[in-house]
Structure 1
Amino acid sequence: MLFQVRMDVNIPADMPSDVANDIKAREKAYSQDLQKSGKWRHIWRVVGEYANYSIFDVESNAELHEILTGLPLFPYMKISVTPLCRHPSSVRDSDA
Structure 2
Amino acid sequence: MSRQEFLVDIVIALPSDLPPERRAELVAAESARARELRAAGSIQRIWRRPGQTANVGVWVAESATELHDLISSLPLFPWMSVRVGALARHPLEDDHQ
Note whether the superposition's TM-score is higher than 0.5: yes
Task: Tell me the SS of whatever aligns to 1:26.
Answer: helix
Off by >2 Å, runs of 4+ in structure 1: none
Letter of the 1:84 partner, please give it.
Answer: L
Change (3 A) 1:86 1:32: same
Deviations 1:23-68 (A, max 9, x none): 1111101010110111111110001111000110111111100011
Calculate percent identity across the aligned residue pairs: 34
Q: Is the aligned partner of 1:40 residue 2:39?
A: no
Whole-angstrom CA distance in 2 between matches of 1:26 and 1:92: 38
Whole-angstrom CA distance in 2 between matches of 1:17 and 1:74: 18
1:88 Cα offset (Å): 1.2
1:92 Cα offset (Å): 4.8
Question: TM-score by structure 1 length?
Answer: 0.92
| CA-based RMSD | 1.0
Q: Map residues 1-96 of structure 1 onto 2, 5 A cutoff.
A: 1-90=4-93, 91-92=95-96
Q: Number of residue pairs matched?
A: 93
| Gapped regions of structure 2 (runs ≥ 5) | none
Question: TM-score by structure 2 length?
Answer: 0.91
